[in-house]
Each structure stands twice: as structure tokens, then as C-alpha cells.
Amino acid sequence: MTSVQSLTRLPCGNRVLDLAQTHVMGILNVTPDSFSDGGRYSQLDAALRHAQAMVAAGATLIDVGGESTRPGARAVSPLEELERVAPIVELINRELDVIISVDTSTPAVMRETARLGAGLINDVRSLQRDGALDAAAATGLPVCLMHMQGEPGDMQDDPQYQDVTREVAKFLAERMTKCAQAGIPAERIILDPGFGFAKTLQHNLSLFKHMEALHALGRPLLVGVSRKSMIGHALNRPVGERLHGGLALAALASVKGARILRVHDVAETVDVVRMIAAVESAE
């Protein structure tokens, strides 16, 4: 008989994520061109110090990315991405007690970083690159599937939806089916609605408002809106002034049942999550 506890425990390599509570995932971009922090953590020592600070602030996952997926971002070769990501994954795994997520769509990066200690594959392309499904399945790691139309270079050109929430749910359900066919069971899947990816401000707001509908897919949700343009457009704020809007969305996502919040501002978001938990646990 399967226990309730086992249904909330997600094995992530040599660590386990308890999905009975909301977790904060700290963003570690080891890229020169990410929209918010490009170039700041491309050196190993700076990247490790930032990871250490995020763990100390309460992050239970660190999401390492070596390819920018901001609108208009240039593609990088698998070798270049691997050279950026692999050393820091190996270093964090050796130095810190934290689940390492790798933000990648590249099969070779999935395989190598899994060998080096990664615990989660976070793919904005939902394993649609050639060989990605097989590579992810071979690692045995859980995967996060995200909704996006097109590619980062053109995704914001003219996104169109009749019903954005329904279409996002349909896409994610189809990708879950493809995963099952490749040997990745539903129990190893996390879902990301893809805020800011091939969506206008109104698409993002509507999708966020109706996010609970995605729970019908039966898998935990990851929400990543930290510092994104939906906050900038809604509040008329530049990237450096989007913290308060991001915290409002983090609180709302947590209340709406998101289990992982992917953020730049870890300490502040951890306070949000802990405060909500304190209220919800009261008599």
C-alpha cells in the first residue's frame, strides 16, 4: 500500500524533495546574457558564493542555467553550455547540501550533469529537442516540463491563444504522454506554466488567475515570475524595481498551490513562504 508520505516525496538524485510544502528555488545563471544577472556568476568562485548565500537564505533547490532563454537570446552550442554548467554543478554537489536543478534543453548537458550530481532537469522546451526525451529518461531524474510556443528568439513575436489556460494545460498533458512513452512516469514530472514565455501581459495575468485549473493534471507546479516583464508591464517598473511585485506573485502562487517558486530574491521569498505556512498551520 502506498503511503501518503511517499506520494509527496520526490527523489532527486541522492536527495529527496518533500512536496507537502512549498519550496524556494534559487536562480544561478552562469551566462553572460541573462536578462537580470547576466555575467555576474560566470566565474566558479562567484557562482559558488552566490549558491551558498541562497542556501543560507533558505533555498532548497539551486537552478543552474548555462543558456539564456530571455526573448531574443542567442543559441549556444552544447559544448559551450556544458563548459559553463558542468563545473559549477560538480562544485555545488561537493560543497553544499542542496538539490541542484539544471536549466537545460540539451541532451549532453542532461546526461553529464546528472553524472556530476544534478537532481532535477528543468527544460523550458519540455524535452522537445532531438534526443532530449531519451537523455532525460536515461538519467532517472525528475523533469520539469514548461509551456512555450516557438523558441526564445521568436516566442514574443505574436503569441496567440483562444484560451491560454486551456491551451497550456493541453500542451503539458501532451508532453506528459510523450514522457510516459519514453519511460518517464508521471511521478517524476513537475509542470511549469511558462509565465513570460510566448505570452502577452494579458495572457500571463489570465493564466496566473486561473492557475488552479492546472492541478487537474495531477502534478506539482513550479512557478517562475521573478523580475519578469509581466511585473514590469503591470507596474511600470524596470528590472531592478520588481521585487515587491514579484513577492506579491510569489504569495499568490503559494496560496494557489504552487510547490516550487523559482526566484532571484531568495531570502525575501522564503519569508513570504514561511509567513503563509505559519498562518495556515494555526488553529
Residue 133 has pLDDT above 50, yes or no: yes
Cα separation, 249 vs 257, whole angstroms: 12
Give 152's pLDDT tier (boundaries 50, 70, 90). low
Percent of the chain scored above 90 by pLDDT?
83
Q: Which of 70, 84, 219, 228 is catalytic?
A: 228
- Structural domain boundaries of the chain? 20-280
Q: What is the pLDDT of residue 31?
A: 80
Residue 228 has pLDDT above 80, yes or no: yes
Give 4's pLDDT tier (boundaries 50, 70, 90). very low
Residue 213 has pLDDT above 50, yes or no: yes
Whether residue 199 lies in the annotated active site:
no
Higher pLDDT, 113 or 42: 113
Q: What is the pLDDT of residue 153?
A: 57
Cα separation, 112 vs 108, whole angstroms: 6
- Return the CATH fold of 20-280: TIM Barrel (3.20.20)
Give 1's pLDDT tier (boundaries 50, 70, 90). very low
pTM of the predicted protein model: 0.92
Whether residue 228 lies in the annotated active site:
yes
List the grid coordinates of 2: 502506498
Q: What are phi and psi of 149, to 5 degrees?
A: -95, 135
Convert the pLDDT of each residue in 31-88 to its tens digit: 874 444 445 656 888 899 999 999 999 999 999 999 877 766 677 899 999 999 999 9
- Mean pLDDT, range 152-167, rounded to an integer: 78
Residues contacting 154, CB < 8 A, separation 6+: none
